[in-house]
Structure 1
């Protein structure tokens, strides 16, 4: 699998980047129809009912476009100066501000329940699926079965297929309505099925977790993911900074040994982007220096909330797009 570009966005990108499990393709050993039967057998072993298995795999077809999309992921690497305006254009900022106000009551309630600032929920929604407009039109079962049969990451996609069947068994959505991306990322937050089982939440109180059509469930699910991943709503994500030209590149990175308190960064000559001093807090906070485009590009001091965004998607660019959009909502 080729390395994902810096501009890769979406939870799909994170999960595909992290799933390096491979196996020999079954294409020359079993027909697609025979392979579907092996998935059904595994489904039975996972406790999936015959009714759901028959309905889920009814009309399942191999999707060559999904395999092609996987093999032809974009390789072009944009700089942040090129990427941020594309990922967070003025029209998206305006939509985010409008939707923030429209859904403020639900967002505020959910934000308090999970300990996540509502602006970050809206920003994730906007960057991940353009506020639910781009969620994919593949049958999730078709997509996952295709990718498992393709064989390059068979174990990963088989696990996701079993998770998708479990979602159907639990009755959160009908099989024909379970739509997603070519890789099986589902709904408005683009959760893979295993992420749905771990983090999807019922924000509307109707007993279902509908991340496809119910916005309150989308908000609660995103907030639950962040909350369970270590989010702290007492802090923001970080800030763009200016650094001395002679600062050591060995200081950058997000590993535990690279963390320093703001006062320490200040002593090293790091300043706000406008040249003013870093904030002095009553209780100092640890931060990490990141330079996604190396020393020639933008520099940031990021807090642990940024690390949480990187759990959602391990692209520096994705996390920075969400962060920038959240800031634009804040300052509306």
Structure 2
């Protein structure tokens, strides 16, 4: 009988939460104060952050929706990186050349890769998200599906606000909490964002000098090799099935040359001491790539072969690739 009553009570509580999540959210958010106070923000600021938190039902819907379909790799390159974006990337590279070159000098990451990432993440700062980041993170933490992750990100956001890099009302980003031109999550901001112009703020929302150096710093701290490229599209002169695909099968370019791997125009591979591995994001009939360590670094930004090859593809289309 007692178990039956407890079950009935639990179901009733669940129904009440579903029926009135806004009320439960208002009650829940005040419990965040002790942990927020540990992030270095003043009590007045913590109170202000908590007061600003709103329950955002749309964020829950976006988090739970299932993908409607998947693109092939070729569709991804043509639809996500169309010719107009390549032209825009080249224009943005030229317009911002001085700041991009400065970021390259400070981080060791080529300006074309910073530009490509900028284009992929926020369409050169034109699509950064207009969600109130603390509210989005709090909504997702309250929802509970990934409570620990989003609570940590909310606390990181509190620390950023406590350091004075952005105001509470202007901390805007995607529905999942990715912020600014770089689309850094708050934890990534704390690790990689830079105050490149020395004004005391790490402004990835509006200061291009900070934005470019912060993006380059992410790659540099993740192991970027400044004297090398990301990889290359190749041709296989032997049947696809004879090759081992994936990171576990890394070997030197000399060894891949001996196995019949060639540049896309069928010239020999470069005679340089680089380890690489084959990937085939589009399958046997799609594009085949030999990729280097810098590809793995891009993968730390976004763990998708589509994304990483897309960044490399756009960077190469911008121009000035290294010969290796």
- TM-score w.r.t. the length of structure 2 is 0.89
Aligned position for 1:292: 281
Q: Relative to 1, partners in 2 of residues 1:275 and 1:75: Cα closer, same or farther, differing over 3 Å?
A: farther
Aligned position for 2:171: 178
**Structure 2 residue ranges without an equivalent (≥5):** 1-13
Report the more deviating stretch, 235-244 or 137-146: 235-244
* Aligned mates of 2:287, 2:149 — CA distance in 1: 35
Bigger-Rg structure (1/2): 2
Helix, strand or coil for the counterpart of 1:294? Answer: coil
Say whether 1:279 aligns with 2:270.
Answer: yes
Aligned position for 1:39: 32
* Aligned mates of 2:66, 2:198 — CA distance in 1: 38
**Cα deviation 1:18-62 (Å, max 9, x = unaligned):** xxxxxx9x9579910121012222112334321111222224211
Report the more deviating stretch, 223-232 or 57-66: 57-66
Asked if 2 retains the 8 angstrom alpha-carbon contact of 1:203 and 1:217, the reply is: yes
Helix, strand or coil for the counterpart of 1:288? Answer: strand
Query: Where do residues 115-126 of structure 1 align in structure 2 (5 Å cutoff)?
Result: 115-126=108-119
Aligned position for 1:318: 307
1:224 CA drift (Å) = 0.4
Aligned position for 1:260: 251
**Cα deviation 1:60-79 (Å, max 9, x = unaligned):** 21111111111114242211
1:225 CA drift (Å) = 0.2
Aligned position for 2:192: 199
Report the more deviating stretch, 30-39 or 311-320: 30-39
1:106 CA drift (Å) = 1.4
* Aligned mates of 1:265, 1:230 — CA distance in 2: 24
Structure with the bigger RCO (C-alpha within 8 Å, sep 6+) is 1
Say whether 1:303 aligns with 2:292.
Answer: yes
Aligned position for 1:9: none
Helix, strand or coil for the counterpart of 1:212? Answer: coil
Runs of 4+ residues deviating >2 angstroms: 26-30, 45-48, 244-250
1:230 CA drift (Å) = 0.3
1:148 CA drift (Å) = 0.2
**Structure 1 residue ranges without an equivalent (≥5):** 1-23
Helix, strand or coil for the counterpart of 1:301? Answer: strand
Aligned residue pairs total 305
1:246 CA drift (Å) = 2.4
1:270 CA drift (Å) = 0.8
Helix, strand or coil for the counterpart of 2:284? Answer: helix
Q: RMSD over aligned Cα, in angstroms?
A: 2.0
Asked if 1 retains the 8 angstrom alpha-carbon contact of 2:238 and 2:260, the reply is: no
Aligned position for 1:96: 89
Helix, strand or coil for the counterpart of 1:287? Answer: strand
Asked if 2 retains the 8 angstrom alpha-carbon contact of 1:140 and 1:184, the reply is: yes
Report the more deviating stretch, 184-193 or 91-100: 91-100
- TM-score w.r.t. the length of structure 1 is 0.87
